[in-house]
């Protein structure tokens, strides 16, 4: 139990976005965050990252509130990958990955061997070692997300938060990216749209609806026809290729025409 | 960030050597016939506390006219370019510079109010008025952008609005209150001119430049972290609000000092950072020193051109920077253009 949100709420423009949500991802596991648009997935991730502060409740890292730890200390422990990152600056792959060392470095000092090692390891882990000189704006969507994950790994985090990282990718790159994420030795929380990807790659799921947690547990327990109907308003069948396999969702149509 | 530290040092040293040579040569150019050797002996004499071997008139031309003017050109060029580089990175807007953010027009209004209306009762000099105007306009930009929601594009929009406001105020004051002679003098200053440069200006601006550049270099890696936006910077451990406040105030103060000495010289802050980025890449540890040196060399030569091209008539240096700056800017944008996605 390292990162934990305890009954956090958050309003935006008088509107309750998150309403008393608690989650405690198991160390080293992949937790999938599911829910329709506007259910509060991104807001919850931003609270977990410390970018937003909760109006009530508290987010803790090793039992200490994020606010007390300070941004820099948090960034040395916890890394974030956004849905889609972009920049107007001309950056190489190596430039971007090195940004991951920002929280570890002091002003006026050159990079230490530890910095170089972390960058090297992150590049190796993501298979980017031979592409360090490529320019960011020449990369495909899948390559960009891979570079962002390498940047996050260069932070040497123990927690990794990803907000719909596969959104703009084709299916091969989606599978590729989530395989990479699932193999990382860190505690991961990932917001996902695709229920089947969530079933394939997550150890546990948290389902949000209108800012509240409506289900938690293993994909096996959570992904039921009833829950999908209730949360997404969609008719679906859930099947397994073999008994004991991960569930597979097949959509049949909407329940209420909108 | 890809190149090594020795390469940075090499660039900076080469640049500084080019700057020193530019200053020495630029001083020799002009109606009075002065050689590099004369410059050297005048400088050596004054620094060594000895009598110059030059005639008093020639010594005066070097030491009291051309040297402070050329040095002020170098300091202003460096300072404006650094301001532009920092503002562009901080606001993630390639168009940000001290002029777009309204600081220069505020300074101009302050100066005009002192010159034309005699505000300040003689206690406030033209420079002092410019300084007050710059600080007031920048405070208004920050306040307005904060009220409008402190996103980076709002800061730029607020800057544009405030710039228009102060330009209008300046025109209003000049057209309603000034006589023809004063108007001409004020307009000349508004377009940017180094013709009144003295040693006081040089030392003041140099001190502010050194302080501001040191602070900005301390924030170099923090500025790198802004490449993917404020949220990304925040998740890299940067306190976004504090960084923005510190760096915007530092650049505003530097701009105020420069504008109060040399008027509103446009385009240096906008163009030079883009040119320097093409040389060094985006890492600020290298970008900031190289931008500073490039801005200094650039303005030394532009000012030399401004004071000699139409001799004996002098062109405001701001006019020349814009004449050169606009095509250069288009060229930089063209070279770094991207295929539409």
Asked if residue B130 is part of any domain, the answer here is: yes
Model pLDDT for residues A43-96, shown as the tens digit of each residue? 999 999 999 999 999 999 999 999 899 899 999 999 999 988 888 888 999 999
Q: What are phi and psi of A5, to 5 degrees?
A: -110, 130
Spell out, as residue ranges, where chain B has pLDDT lower than 50.
Answer: 1-3, 339-341
Mutate to test the interface with B, among A73, A91, A139 (most CBs of B within 10 A): A91
The backbone region for A140, taken as left when phi is positive above 0, alpha when psi lies in -120 to 50, beta otherwise, is beta
Asked if residue B341 is part of any domain, the answer here is: no
User: Residue B104 is part of a domain; what is its CATH number?
Assistant: 1.10.3470.10
Asked if residue B23 is part of any domain, the answer here is: yes
Specify the 3-state DSSP secondary structure of A71: helix
Measured CA to CA, the distance from residue A170 to residue A127 in angstroms comes to 19
What is the mean predicted confidence (pLDDT) over A150-159? 95
Asked if residue B50 is part of any domain, the answer here is: yes
The number of distinct structural domains making up chain B is 1
Every domain of chain A and the residues it spans? 3-219
Q: What is the pTM of this model?
A: 0.87
Nearest to A137 among B222, B228, B338 (CB): B338
Asked if residue B17 is part of any domain, the answer here is: yes
Measured CA to CA, the distance from residue B124 to residue B221 in angstroms comes to 39
Measured CA to CA, the distance from residue B87 to residue B95 in angstroms comes to 9
Residue A236, pLDDT above cutoff 70: yes
Q: Which domain holds residue B64?
A: 5-335
Asked if residue B340 is part of any domain, the answer here is: no
Predicted local distance difference test score (pLDDT) of residue B5: 60
B-contacting residues of A 64-83, CB under 8 Å? 71-76, 78-80, 82
Model pLDDT for residues A165-182, shown as the tens digit of each residue? 998 888 998 999 999 999
Query: Contacts of residue A92 in chain B, CB cutoff 8 Å?
Result: 1-2, 281
Predicted local distance difference test score (pLDDT) of residue B1: 44
Query: Contacts of residue A69 in chain B, CB cutoff 8 Å?
Result: none
Predicted local distance difference test score (pLDDT) of residue B121: 56
* Residue B137, burial from CB neighbour count under 10 angstroms (0-12, 13-18, 19+): buried
Domain A3-219: which CATH class? alpha beta
A-contacting residues of B 123-162, CB under 8 Å? none
Predicted local distance difference test score (pLDDT) of residue B150: 62
Chain B: give the shortest CA distance to residue A203, in Å: 25
Other beta carbons less than 10 A from residue B181's beta carbon: 8
Mutate to test the interface with B, among A71, A80, A150 (most CBs of B within 10 A): A71
ipTM: 0.88
Predicted local distance difference test score (pLDDT) of residue B115: 78
């Amino acid at each position: 139990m390292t990162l934990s949100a305890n009954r956090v709420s958050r309003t935006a423009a008088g509107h309750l976005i998150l309403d008393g949500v608690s989650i405690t991802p198991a160390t080293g596991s992949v937790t999938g965050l599911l829910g329709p648009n506007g259910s509060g997935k991104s807001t919850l991730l931003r609270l977990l990252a410390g970018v937003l502060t909760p109006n009530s409740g508290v987010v803790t890292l090793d039992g200490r509130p994020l606010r007390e730890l300070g941004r820099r200390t948090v960034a040395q422990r916890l890394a974030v990958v956004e849905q889609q990152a972009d920049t107007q600056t001309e950056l190489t792959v190596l430039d971007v990955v090195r940004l991951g060392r920002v929280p570890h470095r002091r002003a006026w000092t050159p990079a230490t061997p530890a910095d170089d090692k972390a960058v090297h390891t992150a590049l190796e882990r993501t298979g980017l070692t031979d592409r360090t000189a490529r320019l960011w704006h020449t990369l495909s969507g899948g390559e960009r997300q891979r570079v962002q994950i390498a940047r996050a790994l260069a932070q040497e985090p123990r927690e990794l938060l990803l907000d719909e990282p596969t959104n703009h990718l084709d299916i091969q790159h989606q599978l590729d990216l989530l395989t990479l994420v699932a193999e990382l030795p860190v505690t991961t929380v990932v917001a996902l749209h695709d229920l089947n990807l969530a079933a394939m790659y997550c150890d546990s799921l948290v389902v949000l609806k209108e800012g509240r947690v409506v289900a938690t547990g293993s994909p096996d327990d959570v992904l039921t026809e009833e829950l999908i109907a209730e949360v997404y308003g969609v008719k679906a069948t859930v099947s397994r290729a073999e008994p004991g396999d991960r569930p597979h969702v097949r959509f049949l149509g909407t329940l209420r025409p909108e | 960030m890809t190149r090594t530290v020795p390469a940075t040092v090499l660039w900076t040293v080469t640049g500084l050597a080019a700057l020193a040579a530019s200053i020495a040569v630029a001083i020799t150019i002009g109606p009075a016939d002065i050689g590099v050797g004369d410059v050297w002996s005048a400088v050596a004499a004054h620094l060594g506390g000895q009598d110059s071997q030059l005639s008093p008139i020639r010594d005066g031309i070097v030491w009291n006219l051309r040297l402070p003017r050329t040095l002020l050109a170098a300091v202003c060029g460096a300072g404006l370019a650094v301001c532009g580089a920092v503002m562009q990175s901080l606001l993630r807007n390639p168009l940000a510079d001290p002029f777009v953010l309204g600081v220069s027009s505020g300074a101009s209004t302050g100066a005009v109010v002192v010159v034309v209306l005699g505000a300040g009762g003689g206690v406030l000099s033209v420079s002092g008025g410019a300084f007050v105007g710059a600080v007031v306009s920048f405070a208004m930009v920050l306040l307005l952008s904060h009220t409008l929601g402190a996103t980076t594009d709002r800061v730029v929009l607020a800057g544009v609005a405030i710039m228009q406001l102060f330009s209008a105020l300046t025109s209003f004051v000049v057209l309603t209150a000034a006589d023809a002679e004063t108007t001409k003098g004020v307009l000349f200053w508004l377009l940017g001119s180094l013709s009144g440069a003295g040693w006081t200006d040089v030392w003041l601006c140099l001190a502010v430049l050194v302080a501001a550049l040191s602070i900005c270099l301390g924030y170099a890696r923090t500025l790198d972290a802004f490449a993917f936006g404020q949220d990304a910077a925040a998740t890299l451990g940067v306190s976004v609000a504090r960084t923005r406040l510190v760096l915007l105030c530092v650049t505003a103060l530097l701009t105020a000092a420069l504008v109060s000495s040399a008027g509103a010289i446009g385009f240096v802050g906008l163009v030079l950072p883009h040119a320097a980025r093409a040389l060094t890449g985006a890492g600020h540890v290298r970008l900031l020193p190289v931008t500073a040196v490039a801005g200094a060399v650039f303005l030394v030569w532009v000012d030399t051109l401004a004071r000699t091209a139409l001799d004996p008539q002098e062109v405001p240096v701001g006019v020349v920077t814009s004449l050169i700056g606009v095509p250069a800017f288009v060229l930089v944008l063209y070279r770094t253009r991207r295929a539409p996605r």
